Structure 1
Amino acid sequence: MGGRSLEETPTWAVAVVCFVLLTISIVIDHIFHLIGKWLKKKHKRALYESLEKIKSELMLLGFISLLLTVGQSVISRICISEKVAGTFHPCTHKTDHTRRLLPELFRSDHNQNLRRILAAGGTDKCAAQGKVPFVSSEGIHQLHIFIFVLAVFHVLYCILTLALGRAKMRRWKRWEEETKTAQYQFSHDPERFRFARETSFGRRHLSFWTQHTILVWIICFFRQFVRSVPKVDYLTLRHGFMMAHLGPQSRHKFDFRQYIKRSLEEDFKVVVEISPPIWFITVLFLLFHTHGWYSYLWLPFAPLIIVLLVGTKLQVIITKMGQRIQERGEVVKGMPLVQPGDDLFWFNKPRLILYLVNFVLFQNAFQLAYFSWTAVQFGMKSCFHSQTEDVVIKISMGVFVQFLCSYVTLPLYALVTQVV
């Protein structure tokens, strides 16, 4: 990469660039400070801790970018053979053309000027050995841009995840207010005896299909798309929680929706965190974006499959709670009383589902960030988007998974696990 060095650059130009970057950084830091101050004032401890985690994740991305800057010269001077460099390319056809063209350029006596220009960019050492840089300076610069885009998408998906989750819970407010009415108390008389199958919860979860495991999973799979949390499930799980954790005197004034809302905020701390295993899997995803692997046909579907499996499992857990009611007796007194337990979850670990949700949301944000970066950096006509179905799949899957996971799966998880 040619151009003037700082010793040939006016000091006013350097000062202006530094001033602009410093101003932007101070403004962003001040915005985070104001948000944190507001969260403290509203006693949103969990959200404040989530904000601190987001700041630390951004700091980590900034540190990675700094290491790239410091090590740019060292990395670009590492030489590898053309044969090795010709593997695992996102655009094999361009690479093959470049590999054929470069030796001809450097063997030609009429291209000495071009050779000196390339040498000024740090490639002379590798070219003299008939090799190519491990990662060129231009490639490292493009990685800087990708890190910035990933940071932006990480913040955006965190905001969108919390907003959609709270929007879903806003619909439960009407049901919660209904439990305070006399009509609700009359229709749910605690002294009334009914058959378990005749209750609203029983009619939904105690049918012929509940006797067959395959049918249970199939029906629960589709339930997450249509009324994932119906009124009867919410009220029954609410009743089970209050009977297990609250005394008779405090049940009538307890706001279960607010409790679940605070629970979602606690879970949000895990959702925004990017653990080392997730980072390593992300690196593998970068590796898989290789020409000939048709990654656009399967990588975007990995988060989708996981979130659908998790959503189905949560629906199955509610159905199994209904089956336990009938196992305790055909007749119930008052509302059906669910009997939860950790054994209903995979490996007896309810938090495992939350970690899977965390993985899905970050990988979805990463893939959307990668798509946006390649579209802006290389254009929509580049080899990254040479297939029309590639663009359609990535955008549609990204939007659908974000909505399904944030609006359906995460609130459902918060509801089910609190009853446990």
Structure 2
Amino acid sequence: MAEDSKSRSLEDTPTWAVAVVCFVLVVISIFIEHAIHVLGKWLKKRNKPALYEALEKVKAELMLMGFISLLLTVLQGPISNICIPKSIADTWHPCAKNTEAKKFSGSSGRKLLEFSDDTTTIPRRSLASKYDKCVDKGKVAFVSSYGIHQLHIFIFVLAVCHILYCIITYALGRSKMRKWKAWENETKTIEYQYYNDPERFRFARDTSFGRRHLNFWSQSTLSLWIVCFFRQFFGSVTKVDYLTLRHGFIMAHLAPGNETKFDFQKYIKRSLDDDFKVVVGITPTIWFIAVMFLLAYTHGWYSYLWLPFIPLIIILMVGTKLQVIITKMGLRIQDRGDVVKGAPVVQPGDDLFWFGRPRFLLFLIHLVLFTNAFQLAFFFWSTYEFSIKSCYHENLEDIIIRVAMGVIIQVLCSYVTLPLYALVTQID
């Protein structure tokens, strides 16, 4: 009787109930659309074209996810009517068969109905068709109607996580750059101008930048990468690095005499906006990688022991590479001669980056941010749909690793690596 109540059609539902649901959904949609419109006007008024483009990309991604959800709704019947042999349907499950039976045999009717494949004894849930064609053929539906409904919920959770990740990423990046404002103000002081007198000669290794980077460890590739690996955790951008990279940029792009007039920190903030505009989008390549991540949640693959660490390894490699690039720019100063006049002038180049493409590092940062959001979205969705004690989280270490890695990667990527990337790449 309860199942009949859940599966009744609109012709058996009061019109006022349908009208109320539609009214609430329309009001919520109009409110969100108006809020996005107001935010866009505010960004235009504040002369932030990069952030406005980022907002447009977020709108496009939301529309894409909405279109995917719409397709799932329209194709729900045809997809659930695709029949496959039981032998194939029994492969690559996220949970072991015996685990499912143990965990849900004593649970509520909702759990039994969600996980049961035996449609001859237990009717499907509300979104399932009343008649399963595959049962008569001795086969199983490719994806059940209720499974498609759960995909709807996952897409919604993914959209919410993606938006929250974008906001957190930008907030942490700008927070890191606010600390650079004091260093920028220092360049306008008499002490800074005296210390960086263009008529002053010094050995390159005696400058602050030289003492930080021109050491015995910088002569060996192995020791260079080891030191740079740990540097990203302890002051990824120091004052001496910031001031030296600032001076290199001004010498390369501005006329002499503009050292104290140019606000380099403000310029880097605009560069962060441009980079942020890229990382909020989702390219087809990243969508494909996200689908591959779904395959990894197969029982027996122990994905919680290795999958969350892939984004961590990538972002640590990117951060290390950026530190290595700064040191190699210092080595180039020494290669031009032991004596420098005034402040050391760094000379960047695309050859310092992997494949000679600085934007490849931004792609990796973009990939890490989305896959991290994707994994946390999957964790929240599986917890909501199947509870924290489901077979998706049968190991305590699974929960700890996924949540801890999600937080660590987000902070490391947004607060450390992305601002460092904006600084290093803009001096070219």
Q: Name which of 386, 390, 393 aligns with 2:398.
A: 390
Q: Does the alignment pair 1:156 with 2:128?
A: no
Q: In 2, Cα distance between the equivalents of 1:400 and 1:247? A: 42
Aligned twin of 1:197: 205
C-alpha offsets along residues 263-284 of structure 1, whole Å, 9 cap, x if unaligned? 0001111111100010011011
Letter in 1 for 2:403: I
Q: Secondary structure at the match of 2:129?
A: helix
C-alpha contact (below 8 Å) 2:246/2:264 kept by paired residues: yes
Q: Does the alignment pair 1:129 with 2:133?
A: no
Aligned twin of 1:294: 302
Q: Does the alignment pair 1:260 with 2:268?
A: yes
Q: Name which of 321, 324, 342 aligns with 1:316.
A: 324
Structure 1 window deviating more from structure 2 (189-198 vs 48-57): it is: 189-198
Structure 1 window deviating more from structure 2 (223-232 vs 124-133): it is: 124-133
Q: Does the alignment pair 1:229 with 2:237?
A: yes
C-alpha offsets along residues 152-195 of structure 1, whole Å, 9 cap, x if unaligned? 00100000111000000000000000000111111211111111
Q: Does the alignment pair 1:245 with 2:277?
A: no
Q: Name which of 38, 44, 53 aligns with 2:42.
A: 38
Aligned twin of 1:338: 346
> Unaligned regions of 5+ residues in structure 1, if any?
none
Q: Name which of 90, 93, 103 aligns with 1:89.
A: 93
Q: Secondary structure at the match of 2:307?
A: coil
Q: In 2, Cα distance between the equivalents of 1:117 and 1:147? A: 20
Letter in 2 for 1:296: Y
Q: In 1, Cα distance between the equivalents of 2:131 and 2:99? A: 17
Q: In 1, Cα distance between the equivalents of 2:127 and 2:382? A: 27
Q: Secondary structure at the match of 1:121?
A: coil
Q: Secondary structure at the match of 1:332?
A: strand
Q: Does the alignment pair 1:78 with 2:82?
A: yes
Identity %: 67
Q: Does the alignment pair 1:10 with 2:32?
A: no
Q: Does the alignment pair 1:211 with 2:206?
A: no
Q: Secondary structure at the match of 2:344?
A: coil
C-alpha offsets along residues 298-329 of structure 1, whole Å, 9 cap, x if unaligned? 11011001000000000000000000000000
Aligned twin of 1:22: 26
Aligned twin of 2:109: none
Letter in 2 for 1:51: L
Q: Secondary structure at the match of 1:419?
A: coil
**More helix by percentage:** 1
Q: In 1, Cα distance between the equivalents of 2:422 and 2:34? A: 32
Change (3 A) 1:345 1:115: closer
Q: Name which of 335, 359, 369 aligns with 1:361.
A: 369
C-alpha offsets along residues 215-247 of structure 1, whole Å, 9 cap, x if unaligned? 000000000000000000000000000000001
C-alpha contact (below 8 Å) 1:123/1:132 kept by paired residues: no
Aligned twin of 1:348: 356
Q: In 2, Cα distance between the equivalents of 1:142 and 1:217? A: 45
Q: Does the alignment pair 1:409 with 2:413?
A: no
C-alpha contact (below 8 Å) 2:162/2:370 kept by paired residues: yes
Runs of 4+ in 1 over 6 A off after TM superposition: 115-120
Matches within 5 A, 1:99-178: 106=120, 121-122=129-130, 124-178=132-186
Letter in 2 for 1:77: N
C-alpha contact (below 8 Å) 2:183/2:239 kept by paired residues: yes
Aligned twin of 1:56: 60
Change (3 A) 1:243 1:79: same
> Unaligned regions of 5+ residues in structure 2, if any?
102-111
C-alpha offsets along residues 347-375 of structure 1, whole Å, 9 cap, x if unaligned? 11001000110000000000000000001
Change (3 A) 1:226 1:117: closer
Structure 1 window deviating more from structure 2 (147-156 vs 130-139): it is: 130-139
Q: Secondary structure at the match of 2:360?
A: helix
C-alpha contact (below 8 Å) 2:127/2:145 kept by paired residues: no
TM-score (norm 1): 0.95
Change (3 A) 1:419 1:129: same
C-alpha offsets along residues 107-142 of structure 1, whole Å, 9 cap, x if unaligned? xxxx6xx57999973453111111111111111111
Q: Secondary structure at the match of 2:311?
A: helix
Q: In 1, Cα distance between the equivalents of 2:327 and 2:215? A: 10
Structure 1 window deviating more from structure 2 (384-393 vs 86-95): it is: 86-95
Change (3 A) 1:342 1:138: same
Letter in 1 for 2:413: C
RMSD (Å), alpha carbons: 1.8
C-alpha contact (below 8 Å) 2:244/2:344 kept by paired residues: yes
Change (3 A) 1:117 1:372: closer
Q: In 2, Cα distance between the equivalents of 1:96 and 1:151? A: 29
Q: In 2, Cα distance between the equivalents of 1:88 and 1:117? A: 23
Q: In 2, Cα distance between the equivalents of 1:258 and 1:407? A: 17
Q: In 1, Cα distance between the equivalents of 2:19 and 2:123? A: 34
